[in-house]
Amino acid sequence: MQIKQVKTRPFEGQRPGTSGLRKKVKVFQQPHYLENFVQSTFDAIGDFAGKTLVVGGDGRFYNRTAIQTIIKMAAANGFGRVRVGQGGILSTPAASCVIRKYKAFGGLILSASHNPAGPDEDFGIKYNIGNGGPAPESVTEAIYACTQDINAYRTLAADDIDLDAVGSFEVGDMQVEVIDPVADYAELMQSLFDFDAIRTMLAGDFRMAFDAMHAVTGPYAKAIIEGMLGAPAGTVMNGEPKEDFGGGHPDPNLTYAHELVEKMYGDAAPDFGAASDGDGDRNMILGNHFFVTPSDSLAVLAANADAAPGYQGGIAGIARSMPTSAAADRVAEAMGLDCYETPTGWKFFGNLMDADRVTLCGEESFGTGSNHVREKDGLWAVLFWLNILAVRQDTVGHIVQAHWQKFGRNYYSRHDYEGVDADAAARVLQNVRSQFDSLTGQSLAHRVVQACDDFSYTDPVDGSVSSNQGVRILFEDGSRIIFRLSGTGTSGATVRLYLESYEADASRHGLDAQDALADLIAAADYVSHLKQLTGRDKPTVIT
């Protein structure tokens, strides 16, 4: 087999974002486009000769084609081994698990997460380092620099391998192992949670539903929830991964997981409902006619961590992304733990975990996780909730309401304005920035503004600084209005508005979140001119 040196030229716009490089499929299908990015990644990451690369993805359209390309390029560039999920399938948390378990040099994960899939939709690729987590900015910037100077890439003239057959193959001098994508991850989950207690609960009157949204977690949920835990067949809805996710939008929220929501708010609703996203790293938790915000979910898991065997030795600390509500902060304070506020992006949690500063972490964007891997983990969160329910012998709603009575309730909501004009989105944030000085000390939404800023984070482990991470209006009573531009889309811009108000009075914990936040919602539009600039009279998604 012959190594080929293929001449190429740089493409514009190959800078990885918070979750790697995401573009439309047709962009990736351009000759040399994927190859340029892969070669640039290999050129940037260092001495990997003879070492192991993990490869897999969420099963979306173009996944299989990209994997065959990557395998040949890995062989040509000197990797000694590639571990790839059967069928090209490997959820993002499972990929992190495999990287860590087998001490791989790193991994390439093919996913655009919760974005739609298909020939006219989205594709993505990101590099994860040897700790199993997303590459830090120093690595992604090095990759981007290489994409700007590339003039050739290396590949191997070789046949495609059979991705559907578990076993070992040779591609040039490199060994390729097609692995069961579920086995290592399932073993890890069984070591963390009391499967016997969950199995006993599921064998009784308890009923649940898990919506895999025709994405990557279908095989994982069927193997673990229906297989190892004995839930009835059919508990996993939409469990077959499809290249277009069945035409759906695999984002586990109240808008896009509508089939599950209708079931959980319908007659004879199950006791517990959950959904995961395209690549398996997000989760939504529901009870019977009850929605658990991701912010509250993190706080409840932290407060009940000792219910799960894997966390009974105590947790080191808690971390949350800046836009996530401060509900977890109150738990950390009560438990005498450190709580870290980081920018959005799981890579910021990785440093804290590697330094043993935190055990549990989460983002308001339906991502929760722990130090078992270095990615957020949707199915892990579902199993954690099942473990708590099995121990507490109570309902989801009662557990959350009891939590509010003890710690107070952080009314919280996120309003997404998707696919808006990028210039208009930038003006929304600039409008708020221009009022920082005049707003401070003034009354807004019947509250006094304590401070305004553009959030900046200094990593306590490596000292790196991340600036311009979100525009904040902070009130003396702990309420917050936050504006951010999302980095996960592939077209237009998404303006995210976050609203939070703390309520200690238990008699006022039963309000609808949008009603409780109405004055902050109005104030946010007043200072930003959000609706006027975007031309939208309401958000695309409210969570």
Name beta bridge partners: 55.
84, 108
Pairing status of strand 290-292 against strand 443-444 = unpaired
Q: Give the alpha-carbon dihedral of 126, 131, 135, 138, to 10 degrees.
A: -160
Q: Are 497 and 415 in contact (CB under 8 A)?
A: yes
96 backbone dihedrals φ, ψ, rounded to 5°: -60, -40
Q: Are 211 and 196 in contact (CB under 8 A)?
A: no
**Which amino acid, 154?**
R
How far is the C-alpha of 9 from the C-alpha of 21, rounded, in Å?
18
Set 19, 91, 111, 113: catalytic member: 113
How far is the C-alpha of 330 from the C-alpha of 316, rounded, in Å?
15
Q: Are 500 and 411 in contact (CB under 8 A)?
A: yes
Could you give the count of Cα atoms lying within 13 Å of 494 in the half-sphere of its Cβ?
Answer: 17
Q: Is 155 helix (H, G, I), strand (E, B) or coil?
A: strand
How far is the C-alpha of 498 from the C-alpha of 493, rounded, in Å?
16
Nearest alpha carbon to residue 439 among 517, 526, 522, 497: 526
Helical H segments across 343-466, by residue range: 347-354, 378-392, 396-407, 422-433, 436-439
Whether residue 479 lies in the annotated active site:
no
How far is the C-alpha of 74 from the C-alpha of 52, rounded, in Å?
10
How far is the C-alpha of 520 from the C-alpha of 517, rounded, in Å?
5
Question: Treating both helix axes as pointing N-terminal to C-terminal, what angle do 378-392 and 294-303 enclose, rounded to 10 degrees?
Answer: 50
Name beta bridge partners: 82.
53, 176
Catalytic residue set = 113
